Amino acid sequence: MASTTDASTSAVSPAKAPAGEWKPTENPNATVVPGKMRSDRQEIPEGFTKEDADKAETMEARQQMSRMASPGCQVYWPSPYQVCGAIKDKYNSLGGPNSFLLWPTTNELVNPDGFGRRSLFQNGPIYWSAATGAHPVVNHFHQKWGQYGYEAGWLRYPTTDEIVLNGGRMQIFQGASVYWSPLTGAHTVGGAIRDKWGQTGWEGGTLGYPTSDEVVLPDGQGRMNRFERGVIYWHPVTGAHPVTGAILLGWELSGYETGAWGYPVQDQYDNAGTPAQIFENHVIDVNTETFLEPVSGGGIVYFNHGEEVVLDSYSGTLNARRASADYDSRYLAWGFKIDESFIQRKAVNGVNTGMSCLNYTRREGALVNQSSKDGIPITYHYHGSLGGHDDDTLYTLNVACAFTNKTVRKNGKGVLAYGVTISKYQMAYEFLTS
C-alpha cells in the first residue's frame, strides 16, 4: 500500500517562501494570552490560522520546559506539528522553514510498511528508513515516485537528496534512479540499463537524458529505455547494449527485437571507419548494408565515411496500397528522412541547405496527381502527401528531391531514406534511391 497522504502534495501548488528569515519564538507563552501572543504582533504565514499559530507557540514553550515535548522533536511556529529524529535533523540541515520545504503540515507518520517514517511539509515530504536515512522528495521526482507507488512500489525508498546535474537533476532510490531535465521530463533508469548508460557517459555522454521510463518488452523478458540520441535494450541472455544512429534506423525498419535481427548482443564498434554492431541474427555494417526487407520494404542509402557528399537529386518509385484501417483521410503520404546526428546542415550565405521535391502518382501509366515542395529545410523527418486516393487500391508513387545548395557535410557518416506511409501510424520504406 502506498502512502496515500503523499498523493495530495503533488497536486497542490508550491507554497510561497517566508517573507523573512524564520526564527523560533522568543519567550513563548505556555498558555494562550489574548493580545500577548506572537500572532498578535507578527503576520502569520500563508496556510496557517491564528489558532494554529497560538497552539504552536504554547507547544514551543512546553518543549522548552521539557514537559510535554517528545524527545528529539521540534516545533516550528506557526505550524502546530512536531518534526522528530532524523527527519528533524535533515529538515534543519536544509534550513527548516527557510528551506524550499517551508513548514511542516503533519506530525511524523508511520509508513505502511510499519518501519519507515515520513513528515509532510508544504512543498513536499521527507522520508526516512533505517537503511536509507532521511531524504526529501519533491516536484517532478515526487510525482514520478508516486506514479509507481511511493516507497511501497519498486522504486522503494530514496537514498539521496535531489542532485543538480548539467542541464537537469537526478535522485537515486533503492530500486532505480530518476533523471529529469526541462526538455525530457522525469524518467526512471535502473539496473543493467543504468550501468550501461553510465558507461556511455550518463546524461553528458552520447545518449543524453532518458526520454522514457524502463519499458517491459513484448516477450516479457527484455527491457529498454529510450534516450535523447538512442536506446538501450537489455535481455537476460544478451545483456544491455545501446543502439544509435544509422544502425538504430535500420533496426527500427526491421522491427526492433521482434524482427529478423533480434536483440543486440554487443555494443557498437568501429569497423574500418564505419560503425558496426552484432545482433542475434545479423551483423550490421553501415558501409555495406541496405536493409531490404521483403515484407515492410526498406530503402536506405549510406554515405561513405568522412567526406562531403554532393546531393544533386534523388528519386525512387514504389508500389503502395493505401490502407483503410485507422486512417482518417484519403491521402497517400510519403516520407523523407535524414538522420541529423550524421549530417550537419551547411549554411550557404546564411541559409541552411534545403531541398525541393516533386512527387506524383501513376495509375495504369497515366498521371493521376502531382505536387511540389520548394526550399524545404533539411529536417529529421518530412512528410508530403497526395489526396484523392481510394482504399485498397494499388498506386505507383514517384518521388524526386533536389537539394537547393547541393552540398551537405557529414559528421563522419550519414543516411538517407525514402518511404511511404501506408497507415496512420506505420511507416514502410519500399525503394532505394537511384
Residues 6+ apart with CB under 8 A from 179: 165, 168, 169, 170, 186, 187, 189, 203, 209, 210
pLDDT for position 53? 95
270-298 pLDDT, tens digit each: 876 667 889 888 777 654 443 322 222 22
pLDDT for position 94? 96
Residue 388 reports pLDDT greater than 70: no
The DSSP result for 140-159, as a single string, is HHHHHHHHTTGGGSTT-SB-
Which segment of 5-14, 172-181, 247-256, 330-339 scores lowest on mean pLDDT? 5-14
Sign of CA dihedral 286, 289, 295, 299: positive
pLDDT for position 302? 33
Residue 81 reports pLDDT greater than 70: yes
Residue 381 reports pLDDT greater than 50: no
> 3-state SS of 381-396?
EEEEEEECCCCCCEEE
Q: Residues 50, 38: contact at Cβ < 8 Å? A: no
pLDDT for position 10? 36
| Fold type of domain 300-428 | Jelly Rolls (2.60.120)
What are the grid coordinates assigned to 269, written together?
A: 564498434
More confident residue, 433 or 248: 248
Average pLDDT over residues 239-262: 85
In which region does residue 430 sit, left (phi positive, over 0), alpha (psi from -120 to 50) or beta (all else)? alpha
Residue 412 reports pLDDT greater than 60: no
Amino acid at 3: S
Average pLDDT over residues 169-182: 97
> What is the maximum alpha-carbon separation in the chain?
99
pLDDT for position 419? 33
Residue 187 reports pLDDT greater than 90: yes
127-156 pLDDT, tens digit each: 999 999 999 999 999 999 999 999 999 999
191-242 pLDDT, tens digit each: 999 999 999 999 999 999 999 999 999 999 999 999 999 999 999 999 999 9
The band of 358, judged by pLDDT with boundaries at 50, 70 and 90, is: low
φ/ψ (deg, to 5) at 313: -160, 155
pLDDT for position 64? 82
Looking at the DSSP bridge assignments, the partners of residue 408 are: 309
Residue 312 reports pLDDT greater than 90: no
pLDDT for position 386? 52
Residue 48 reports pLDDT greater than 90: yes
What are the grid coordinates assigned to 364, written together?
A: 495504369
Domain range summary for the chain, segments of one domain joined by +: 4-143, 199-207+214-285, 300-428
pLDDT for position 374? 58
pLDDT for position 72? 87
The band of 249, judged by pLDDT with boundaries at 50, 70 and 90, is: confident
Q: Cell 535533523 appears where?
A: 89
Buried b (16+ CB within 10 A) or exposed e, 186-218: bbbbbeebbebbeebebbeebbbbbbebbeebe
SS3 state of residue 86: helix
Which segment of 73-82, 226-235, 343-352 scores lowest on mean pLDDT? 343-352
The band of 398, judged by pLDDT with boundaries at 50, 70 and 90, is: low
pLDDT for position 11? 36
pLDDT for position 421? 27
Among 69, 2, 3, which residue's Cα sits nearest to residue 30?
Answer: 69
pLDDT for position 247? 80
The band of 369, judged by pLDDT with boundaries at 50, 70 and 90, is: low
pLDDT for position 63? 85
Residue 254 reports pLDDT greater than 90: no
What are the grid coordinates assigned to 25, written together?
A: 519564538
pLDDT for position 16? 52
CB hemisphere CA count around 37 (13 angstroms): 22
pLDDT for position 261? 86
pTM beyond cutoff 0.75: no
Q: In 280-404, which ranges are E strands? A: 282-285, 300-302, 308-310, 313-321, 331-338, 343-344, 354-363, 366-377, 381-387, 394-403
Residue 359 reports pLDDT greater than 60: no
pLDDT for position 185? 95
pLDDT for position 255? 83
15-38 pLDDT, tens digit each: 554 556 889 999 999 999 999 999
Q: Which of 6-15, 286-295, 311-320, 410-419 has the highest mean pLDDT?
A: 311-320
